[in-house]
Amino acid sequence: MNAKSGNTVTVHYTGTLDDGTEFDSSRGKDPLTFTLGSGQLIPGFDSAVVGMSVGDVKDVRVAPTEAYGEVKEDFTQVVAQNGFPPNFDFIVGGQVVGQSPQGMPVVATIVSLDEQASTVTVDLNHPMAGKTLNFDIELINIS
C-alpha cells in the first residue's frame, strides 16, 4: 500500500540544514503521526511522504517555497517596550510570543533594542524562513 492524501501516516524523521546542522528529529522519541494533505505539516514534507510504502526510507530536500517561505523584509515591526510584561528580559536573537489581531499566536525574533526610544524591533518571519530543509524520512505506518 502506498501513502496517499487522506491517509494517516506515522514517520520517523531527521531534519537538517544544508550545513548539516540538525534542527529537529523524532529519532529516539515517539514517531510523528499526521494526516497527509491536511495542511498539518509544511507542503514539501507532506508531498515527500505521498507514494511511500511502509518501511521506505527517503531523503528529500525542501526549498523555502515548500517549507516556511522566503524571508519577507517587510516582516519587521517596531514595538514599544511597555507593551511587554513588566521586567521582561529583552534578549537580541531571543524569541517572543504574541497574538495576531485575530487572536492567533505569533512568534517573533528580537532583532534590536532602542533603549532611548524604549522600543524593540522584532522580525515576524518564521525562524526557518528562507532556509532549504533536508529530511531523512522513514514511513512506519499507514492507516
**Residue ranges per structural domain of the chain:** 8-69+129-142, 73-123
List, for residues 5-63, the tens digit of each pLDDT value: 999 999 999 999 999 999 999 999 999 999 999 999 999 999 999 999 999 999 999 99
pLDDT at 135: 98
Provide the CATH topology of domain 73-123. Thrombin, subunit H (2.40.10)
Could you tell me if 25 and 15 are in contact, meaning their C-beta atoms sit under 8 angstroms apart? yes
Query: Has domain 8-69+129-142 been given CATH number 3.10.50.40?
Result: yes
Spell out where the chain has E strands.
8-17, 22-25, 32-35, 57-62, 76-80, 95-99, 105-114, 119-123, 133-142
Q: What is the DSSP letter of 8?
A: E
What pTM was computed for the model? 0.83
Mean pLDDT of 72-77: 94
Could you tell me if 23 and 128 are in contact, meaning their C-beta atoms sit under 8 angstroms apart? yes
Q: Where are the alpha helices (DSSP H) in the chain?
A: 43-49
